[in-house]
Amino acid sequence: MAESQGWKGKWDKWKPAIGGLIVGLVLGPFVSGWAGWQVTGYTLKREVRDAVVNQQTEMCEYLARRAVENPSELKYNARRELAEKYAKFPWDDKADFTVISNCTDQLAQEADGATTPATG
């Protein structure tokens, strides 16, 4: 009987720590996800895609500005066609819609960054 008292005493001593461990293992992922400490696969893919689109947009704008002296003076359709031409990269089957749209918007701005009104 003395041995069972020993185990009961040990259990009573370790019971709060074991309970805390179990609660932490169950609630930990939920709390860290809610706090934003986890990066999900979807978030990672979205961030990488945004970075790629931004780089491709900058390259499209750079190439288009080299080809046309002041693309901000072009009409929307001409800017869009210019963007479509330079938004397609050799490794792509076709140009990405977001890159074309962003590049067209960037080309509408003056070289110093001031936006010009649309001419049609």
Taking 70 as the pLDDT cut, the residues of the chain under it are 1-4, 111-120
Please spell the DSSP secondary structure of 62-94, one letter per residue. HHHHHHSS-GGGS-HHHHHHHHHHHH--TT-SS
3-class DSSP state for residue 109?
strand
51 lies in the same domain as 63: yes
- Position 112 scores a pLDDT of 59
61 lies in the same domain as 80: yes
- Which tokens is 68 given? 């046309």
Q: Is 58 exposed, middle or buried (0-12, 13-18, 19+ CB in 10 A)?
A: middle
74 lies in the same domain as 100: yes
3-class DSSP state for residue 111?
coil
pLDDT in tens, 39-48: 888 889 999 9
16 lies in the same domain as 27: yes
64 lies in the same domain as 97: yes
12 lies in the same domain as 54: no
96 lies in the same domain as 54: yes
Secondary structure, 3-state, 26-37: HHHHHHHHHHCC
45 lies in the same domain as 72: yes
- Position 119 scores a pLDDT of 43
- Position 84 scores a pLDDT of 93
Q: In the chain, what is the straight-line distance between the N-terminal and C-terminal CA atoms, in Å?
A: 95
- Which tokens is 75 given? 């009409």
User: Domains in the chain: how many in total?
Assistant: 2
76 lies in the same domain as 44: yes
* Residue numbers of the domain that contains 14: 1-37
